[in-house]
Structure 1
Amino acid sequence: MSHLNRSHPARSRASAAVAAVAGLALALTGCSSATPGTTSTSGGGRSSGAASDDSAVLGAPNKASGTPVTFGVLNLESGPVTFPEVFLAEQAAADYINDYRGGIGGHPIKLVKCATDGTPATSARCANQVLDSKPLAILGAADTGSPGAVAVYERQGLAYLGGIAFTPVEQNYKDAAIFSSISTGDNAAASVYLTKDLGVKSAAVVYTSDTQGTASGLGVIVPTLQRAGVTKITKIPIPPTASDVSSAVATVTSAQPDLVYVAAPAACPNVLSSLKQLGYTGKLAGVDTCTSPKAVQGANGGAEGLYFASPVLDPGDSGDEAALYRAALKKYAPADIALDSLATIGFQSMMNISNVLGKEDPAKLTTASILAAFRDGSDKPNFMGHPYTCDGKQILGASAVCNANEQIRQLKGGKIVVAKEWTTAGSYYVPAAG
């Protein structure tokens, strides 16, 4: 999913979802994922709810104490594109773990963050800065400048755990374990679903014409659609700052495709609205930010029927893990946190670390023992996601990514429904050469 160059208000479906934290079945005992065709709802605004419900979900307090266990975090929070929700969700998870799960080996988790601006030089500086805190490991977040930072981690021999791996550098870092795939796994899985399950034969791919958008549009979506059987593809780049999409939409409609795949998050509402006005009736696909409340409103009915993929469950899912996610964010995160897939992955990353390392003595942990713990066995529990296996074989050309599974969803009748449970692109995705 290309999450770059999105407009800030359209980043998330769940500025709407934390609101139902107590109202969306917080005491349910069933297991997490919805089944195909069922609704995964997101509420609107926060609700204080019943304290007893939240207490039941959060569990019995087990507060950590003593010397903190430090993790370094680099997150993109400066410049035209920012992802503050990722670190906010990670901090909320750490606070929950410290209060209710005893931290790591009884010691509280401390996150030392450096805010980046998307450039490798700043990320390298930030990486050196967090090293001053002597971190046990690096907690992955969202940083498009990470190639500059990973070189620093490699020199120090630090493990890199979780986060959003936007670039091939962290996707292939030898000391990394990454639990979900964004930009690659999601777009590739959606492309195969649209072709194999829905029978698409021709497509128009609208993508943002910057580095990340081009990598997603031309490096993942177009070739995967082609390998899966789409015989005609019209490629339509949109500048990151474009406000007028009329030319792009005219190109789409003149091509008369079976499918329009919108991989331009900031332009998504305008593109979808224009397509509806011009009478387009074919299939629609995009990224999850195209289905945020503000994006849907801006599309003026044009987002109805849109398909997208996500490596994590929707915040409104009816299962126990999503209920815990909502309750923890209600307690520890700002009320206006954007609950997109990236935020969920941030929370997931911290929870997975707790699940694997929570009982260990931090004084005895090393990079080798940390990585061995995540790489031991297969189908390990992945918070709000498909089980992961860190065998270097889950996505071709991304050896550090431990899970390529995505849930296919659709905006149907104004609600998000599950169209297909966990699926991958399989052999239809092949990374670009070089």
Structure 2
Amino acid sequence: MRSYVKWLRPLAVLLALVLVTAACGDSDDGDTVAVQTDDAPSTDDSSDDSAGPSDTGEATGEPIKIGFQNPEGDPNGSFPEYSAAARAAADYINTELGGLGGRPIELVVCEMAISPDDSQRCANELVAEGVELVVSSLNFFGNHISILNGAGVPVIVGTPITVADFTSPDTFSIGAGGGCFGVHTGLVQFVTQDLPGIEGIEVNRVAVPWADTPPGVVCYYDLESKPLDVIKGVIPGTGALAGSNPNLEHIGIPVLPAAADVTPQATAILDFNPDAIIFSAQGSDCWNMVDALGRLGWTPQDIPLVLSGACTDFTAMAAAGDLAVGIYLTATENGVLAPLDAVSGQNLDNATIYQTKAAEYGLSQDNLFKGFSTQGFAVMMALDEIAAAIFAAGGDVTGESLKAGFAATDGSQPSFGGSPLNCAGAPVPYIAVCSAPITISQWNGEMLVPVMGGATVVGIDLVAGTELMPGPY
């Protein structure tokens, strides 16, 4: 049974108004071999293609092809846990939740290398496959979105990190924290405004190692360096904290992905004599940096370190031992990695579903407690939530109706594993971003413990009234 039935009716009423003219139709099958299709359960020719969930919970209608574009197998960025979790969620939805409005999900996964050409290849192959909607996990280039939108295929972004993720029409960046839009501005907000009170320190010097990749450049300059400079007062902004700390200094230190030795970067960080450090990268790079800092004598107790949720990897954190104890990591409201005995309400419902069903439907224990696994599972559950509301409103679930459903979200209803989606209220120019709040947790050696009572941190006001700055300025 869906844990969100209690709020399904108000969302269904909202979608009933939006979906009157929603388009529906069949898609032609493509003949590509570069994509992996997780076939939906076959249906009997005599079955009703518009049927909703069966009494047993198994989907019985016409399958709906959902594309899933994900970087895998490239040392510059590989996130197989993302698609593995999405597959587990799709199997759970098909088997127990009746598919998307009765339509079993046929997940078409296209694995891509970290290259602009391969990004576009995947987009073209998914279009040829006849998918009705594409989930983009995280893409370093954003050049796939125009191809998909040009073919009339809406895009759901799990982890938005490029300008295209933030600003494209018919695109909905629903990942908790809005990718680096919410996470990186939230990191700056937390370190400059909340950390001083928690740690009993002044924070006037912030070191910001950053992932030296195409999206890393955008996320650092536009969403870390810029908000820090807004607080300092050297870049004008309209937010409440603009110009509030003219003594604030910061340094950015690029870090190549999968670098064998980051001792020079760690040395530069400590030579800056920071009051705090923030870092966002893929999991292994985060813990390579922690190791390098530790070999130079750093501890989290000496200089607080705040990492993005992408760094979350319980295995790596346990392996780091005492060096990881006390490190802060971004999380999300209703985060699904929360200890089940420490949460209640929606958070408990969502965390229980993830921690039991993801494993039951094939996600390995090693991947279960990784940040990108949670996002892969949650993005598919978000599709199910919107589809359930469409079906409850009497509509047919199609790529177009799902697009309309996401566009109609206004922050009034819960969302699986995150804050309520508010695609209708996305701020200009970040018109595709549907979620921005984050939470902060601290690793105690065994689990992540929420700080500030699990209160949300929202840093997007730090970029209010500013221009996009996707590169050096």
Give the superposition deviation at 1:110.
0.9
1:171 Cα deviation (Å)?
Answer: 2.4
Q: 2:64 aligns with which of 57, 64, 69?
A: 69
Q: Deviations over 1:246-279 (max 9, x none)?
A: 3333333332211122335544334334444525
Q: How does 1:34-53 map to 2 (within 5 A)?
A: none
Q: TM-score, normalised by structure 1?
A: 0.78
Q: 1:403 to 1:279 in 2, by over 3 A?
A: closer
Query: CA separation of 1:90/1:191 partners in 2, compared to 1, >3 Å: closer, same or farther?
Result: same
Distance in 2 between residues matched to 1:291 and 1:190, nearest whole Å: 15
Which residue of structure 2 lines up, in the alignment, with residue 197 of structure 1? 194
- Give the letter for the 2:86 counterpart: E
What amino acid does structure 1 have at the position aligned with 2:140?
T
* Aligned twin of 1:95: 91
**More divergent stretch after superposition (367-376 vs 319-328):** 367-376
Q: Is the 8 A contact 1:116 1:143 kept in 2?
A: no
Counterpart amino acid of 1:347? F
DSSP-derived class of the 2:423 partner:
coil
Alignment CA distance shift 1:267-1:403 (3 Å): closer
1:167 aligns with 162
Aligned position for 2:253: 236
Please state how far the C-alpha of 1:359 moved relative to its aligned partner.
Answer: 6.0
| Residue 427 (1) aligns with residue 461 (2) | yes
1:110 aligns with 2:110: no
CA deviation after TM superposition for structure 1 residue 367, in Å:
5.3
Are 1:392 and 1:400, in contact at CA under 8 Å, matched by a contact in 2? no
Q: 2:325 aligns with which of 304, 311, 319?
A: 304
Task: Give the number of aligned pairs.
Answer: 376
Q: Is the 8 A contact 1:138 1:161 kept in 2?
A: yes
The equivalent residue for 1:326 is 355
Task: Give the Cα–Cα distance (whole angstroms) in 1 for the partners of residues 156 and 315 of structure 2.
Answer: 32
1:284 aligns with 2:302: no
What's the C-alpha RMSD, in Å, of the aligned pairs?
2.9
How far 1:413 sits from its partner (Å)? Answer: 5.0
User: In 2, Cα distance between the equivalents of 1:218 and 1:433?
Assistant: 6
Amino acid of the structure 2 residue aligned with 1:425: G
- The offset of 1:418, in angstroms, is 0.8
Measured in 2, the distance between the counterparts of 1:264 and 1:160 equals 24
Q: Do structure 1's residue 374 and structure 2's residue 373 form an aligned pair?
A: no
- Offset at 1:409? 1.5
The structure 2 residue matched to 1:389, chosen from 409, 422, 427, is: 422
Structure 1 stretch 405-414 or stretch 269-278: which is displaced more?
269-278
The question of whether the paired residues in 1 share the 8 Å contact of 2:210 and 2:253 is answered with: yes
Following superposition, the deviation at residue 117 of structure 1 comes to 1.1
Match in the other structure for 2:387: 357
The 3 A distance-change label for structure 1 pair 193 and 377 is same
Specify the structure having the higher radius of gyration (Cα): 2
Q: How does 1:115-126 map to 2 (within 5 A)?
A: 115-126=111-122
Give 1:423's aligned amino acid: V
1:256 matches 2:273: yes
Shift of the 161–234 alpha-carbon distance from structure 1 to 2, 3 Å rule, reads closer
C-alpha contact 1:307 1:409 (8 A) present in aligned 2 = yes
Structure 1 residue 163: deviation in Å? 1.9
Among candidates 215, 219, 224, match of residue 221 of structure 1: 224
Give the unaligned 5+ runs of structure 1: 1-27, 32-59
> Is 123-132 or 63-72 further displaced after alignment?
123-132
* Whole-angstrom CA distance in 2 between matches of 1:244 and 1:133: 42
Percent of matched pairs sharing the same residue: 25
3-state SS in 1 of match to 2:216: helix
Q: Among 69, 72, 79, which residue is 2:74 paired with?
A: 79
Contact 2:71–2:80 (8 Å) recurs in 1: yes
The question of whether the paired residues in 2 share the 8 Å contact of 1:275 and 1:302 is answered with no
Q: Following TM superposition, by how much is the alpha carbon of 1:70 offset from its aligned partner in structure 2, in angstroms?
A: 1.2
State the alpha-carbon separation in 1 of the partners of residues 439 and 113 from structure 2. Answer: 30
Greater relative contact order (CA < 8 Å, ≥ 6 in sequence): 1
Q: Secondary structure at the match of 2:252?
A: strand
Distance 1:209 1:340, change over 3 A: same
- The corresponding residue for 2:213 is 210
- 2 CA distance for matches of 1:264 and 1:134? 33
Partner of 1:315: 337
Shift of 1:175: 0.7
Q: How far apart, in 2, do the equivalents of 1:235 and 1:67 lie?
A: 51
Q: Deviations over 1:185-211 (max 9, x none)?
A: 112102101101123211111223332
